[in-house]
Structure 1
Amino acid sequence: MPNNIRDKLKRTTRTMLGFLCLFVGIVFILLPGPAVIFIPVGLALLSLEYAWAKVWLKKSQRYFRQAAVKADQSLQWLGKKLRR
């Protein structure tokens, strides 16, 4: 198999898997499921081929990090309230 065909096959496979993971992640936003896993994985796969996906990956990482900090703060606050 020539390198050109192999490269096109790799790119197509990454793109299809990236969009599939991204789609599954979006579905899991509406349904119970691990959306926080599938969305970044899909964007990471797509960011290997597309610059726009790299931008959205960075935005989603920032968003998920902020959400984790807020959840941690809320749990600490709740723990203090329950200990009283």
Structure 2
Amino acid sequence: MKKLLLNVLAAVCALLALLFIVVPGPSIVFLLAGLLCLSFNYSWARGYLKKTQTGFKRICMQLDKRLR
């Protein structure tokens, strides 16, 4: 039951992310939330989530250097 609920929540987040790509909204937040929900059950999602986290950290550090 828990696995099914997390998968449904991940699907809803993915659909909202697709919707917010077309209309203005926080699509990246919903994509990350969907990956987070999937990472509880699937190891491949954990890998993508880890890559995404390191990418965002690197981008934020570059922006921080440029803004100083």
Q: Which has the larger radius of gyration?
A: 1
The question of a shared fold, defined as TM-score above 0.5 by the shorter chain, is answered with yes
Partner of 2:12, secondary structure, is helix
Partners in 1 of 2:22 and 2:45 — Cα distance?
Answer: 22
Following TM superposition, the consecutive aligned residue runs of length 4 or more in structure 1 with deviations greater than 4 angstroms are: none
Structure 1 segments unaligned to the other structure (5+ residues): 1-8, 77-84
1:16 aligns with 2:24: no
TM-score, normalized by length of structure 1?
Answer: 0.65
Q: Which structure is richer in relative contact order (CA contacts within 8 A, separation 6 or more)?
A: 2
1:25 to partner: Cα distance: 3.1
**What root-mean-square deviation, in Å, do the aligned CA atoms of Structure 1 and Structure 2 show?**
1.9
Partners in 2 of 1:72 and 1:31 — Cα distance?
Answer: 28
1:4-33 alpha-carbon deviations (Å, 9 max, x no partner): xxxxx2211101111322343355455532
Structure 1 match to 2:61: 69
Aligned length: 68
Relative distance call for 1:18 and 1:65 in structure 2 (3 A) is: same
